[in-house]
Each structure stands twice: as structure tokens, then as C-alpha cells.
Amino acid sequence: MSKAKQLRDAMAERGLVHIMAAHSPLSAILAEEAGFDGIWASGFELSALYGLPDVSLISMTQHLDMLRAIASSTSLPVVADIDTGFGNAINVIHAIGQYERAGAAAVVIEDKTFPKVTSLIAGGRQELVRSEEFEGKIRAAVAARTSEDFLVIARTEALIAGLGETEALRRGLAYEAAGADMILIHSKQKTPDEVEGFVREWAGKVPLVIVPTAYPEMNERRIRALRKIAMVIYGNHAIRASTTAMQDVFARVIKDRGIQGVNNDIVPVDEIFRIQGMERIKKDEGLFLR
């Protein structure tokens, strides 16, 4: 079974899938071990990993290389965050072929102008392309995929841009008509009210996707009660958790002038060996090295 079919079947069977962001094979492995349904190959997280702002500075090649590494390290389906599609509809056609071959199960394309600015930054430039232009990108993506199971998810930033619910709904319906398999509605409000209002008014036939970073009280109970959301993406928690842990440990080592204070509070080296699959290496060495 393809990873794309695996993702579609999971949504059909469970009604809601939980997708965790990753910026490396290690974070993807840990997300799978924790029990998530899929991996979000996050542009924001990869930008942060490179120490760069999320403003379209990471190239498609950089993102593809990491996605390929992530997809080969996990049995979970990977949803690729491809921002604005790396250009116009012609660029999208090229990108879809590349991401499908690299092992993605789905792509999310957003209706911002290029270069985009990360959605949740205070005072950020949030400009959208014409709806007609983005509809062309969606049609191009659908035409370019080789498997009908491969999901094309259209993300509208109308709420992020302050254009209101009516425009967000209009764009969502237009993107559905263009062939999108799902609509991702994004919001930077600190409560779920704006997203819940959109979901209640959503009259489209395709399911919705949310990324509740800004409104963390939007838990599974509230999501399921709305009955129209099939995917929730935890968009940046891997890089934030990693940063939290490293800042704490690094500061303690400097304060203590050594590792004696933190050594028992971090995973032992043997746990890293386990994640790396060193037991398999030892077994293979015994079988094949002569």
C-alpha cells in the first residue's frame, strides 16, 4: 500500500488524523514511536534548523533532500509543506513530480505571494495571490500527480491576512472546485473561535485541515465535535521542544562548568544507539563481515 493510500485510509477509518511536524529523520522516528498518524515535513522547522527565518529562503532542493531522508526513516505518511509551490503553476507541476517521487503522501500549497512571510509573526507582510492564480496552481498540481491517492491540500491564508471569514470561505470553495482534496484553514487568533466559525459555515464537500499552533486549547474533543475536520497538524512543536531542551541543557552545563549536573537528566547514549538501529548493524556485521 502506498503512503498516500495509507493516509487516505487512516482518515476514512478514524475520522481524524494527528500529524506531527519534523525537521529531521530523528524527529520523524520519535514522532512515529509516540503514536502519531503522519509527519509534517515543515518548512518552518527546516528553516529554523538552518538558523534562517521562514521567508522562502530554504530552496526546494534543501526541502526535498530532507523530506526524502524523513520518508525513508519512517513508515508513516509524510505531508510536505511546500509553501507557495516554489513559483507559478509551471513550478508547481515540476514540484509535484519531485515530491511524489521523493516519497511524500501529500503536499500543502498556500495562497500567499512569493516570497512568503511566516504566518504567525507579529506585523508580518501577509499578501495573497489572486484567487484565480492559485486555482491554476491547484489544477496544475492535480494534473501533475501520477497517483490519485496523492493528496493536494490547498491552504488559504485569508484569515491570516485579515480578509475575514467570507473571503476565506469563498477561496476555500474555489480551491475545492479547482480539484483540491482538502482545504487547510489557518488562523493566528489566540482562541479557536475564528476557525470554529469558519468550520461551521463550511459548505464544501472536502474535509478540512487545521494547524492549532496559536490556539492550543483546540483539542480532539472540540475538533471532532465540528465534524468537518479530518486532519490536525502540530506545525512546529518538534523544533520548539528541541530548542527548549537544548537551551536548558546548554545553560546548565555552562552554569555547572561541566556535564555532571545534566548527565542523569538526558537520555543515555544507549537510547541514541537504539534509535539509530545499532543492534541491526551489529547483527549484519556478524552475518556479512568476513
Looking up cell 469563498, which residue turns up?
170
Cell of 195: 476557525
Q: Which of 9, 37, 54, 193 is catalytic?
A: 54
Looking up cell 492549532, which residue turns up?
212
Q: Which residues pair with 38 in a beta bridge?
A: 19
Distance CA 68, CA 61 (A): 10
Distance CA 252, CA 248 (A): 6
Q: Strand 208-210 to strand 17-22: parallel, antiparallel, or no bridges (unpaired)?
A: unpaired
Looking up cell 503553476, which residue turns up?
89
Active site residue 54: yes
Distance CA 14, CA 264 (A): 39
Sign of CA dihedral 160, 165, 167, 171: positive
End-to-end C-alpha distance for the chain, whole angstroms: 37
Written as one letter, the residue type at 275 is I
> Among 129, 193, 115, 182, which residue's Cα sits nearest to residue 155?
182
Q: Which residues are catalytic?
A: 54
